[in-house]
Amino acid sequence: MAETPASVADAGPSVTAGLLVVTAVPVEAEAVRAGLTDPSVTVAPVGVGPAAAGAATARLLALAEAAGRPYQAVISAGVAGGFTGRVAVGATVLGDRSIAADLGAESPEGFLPVDDLGMPPEVLGGGSDLPADPALLAGLRARLPRATVGPVLTVSTVTGTAASTAALTARHPTAVAEAMEGYGVAVAAAQAGLPFAELRTISNPIGPRDRSAWRMREALTALTAAAAALG
């Protein structure tokens, strides 16, 4: 595995060259860039959902390696929904794990994660639950001491009913946020042998879909503030 950028791991003043920060959409990328002080950090919007984000991230990593300027770490950043009672709207979240929350199968006993379906490990791509790089996460925690740390779920369908919220909360009792890209980006980073972490700011509570309750401006402002930890 490539080394974690030293200045992140040591909570130093900036990030060394070689950090790739990916977001889903351009407005998130703009918010991240607005908070950076190190121009060597690359920020790129890679699309919505785990498939688009994973494929685009893998392509960026491969192109950089082929050009002789490989990235040294990858961070998935953007806004997310937060679990009520665990994290507040406008807060910053650091994912200690990125979990593919809807990758698996239904059964009479309930949802079965893909890891429990009896497939050989080599076809699971590391499984549905990928941990953040410990050194990279430690550096971010040191620079963002007020951030809430916990699992961030990756879903292909955003949770929008009371029933689905209750089921997801029961399956993941320590999860703090839900987004749509982190796991895909984590898989791309793992395949490239690179450290990975996930940084999110909360725009809305997870639950019955209510756009009037979303605070996107506040979440993007918080994302800009948090990006200062990246360099």
The pLDDT tens digits of the residues spanning 44-90 come to 999 999 999 999 999 999 999 999 999 999 999 999 999 999 999 99
For the chain, report the end-to-end CA distance as a whole number of angstroms: 22
CA distance 51 to 33: 24
69 is a domain residue:
yes
Report residues of the chain scoring pLDDT below 70. 1-17, 104, 112, 114-118, 120-126
* Number of structural domains in the chain: 1
Measure Cα distances from 26 to 32, 34, 164, 180 in Å: 10, 12, 29, 15
User: What's the confidence (pLDDT) of residue 125?
Assistant: 63
Residue 7 pLDDT = 42
CATH of residue 179's domain is: 3.40.50.1580
Which residues touch 63 (CB under 8 Å, ≥6 apart)?
none
The number of residues making up the chain comes to 231
- Is residue 65 assigned to a domain? yes
Residue 1 lies in a domain: no
Give the pLDDT confidence score for residue 64 in this predicted structure.
93
**pTM of this structure:** 0.86
What integer pLDDT is reported at residue 46 of this predicted model? 96
User: Per the domain annotation, does 129 fall within a domain?
Assistant: yes
pLDDT at 141: 95
**Of 3, 10, 100, 120, nearest in space to 54 by CA:** 100
Residue with tokens 């997310």: 80
Q: Quote the domain boundaries for residue 217.
A: 6-230
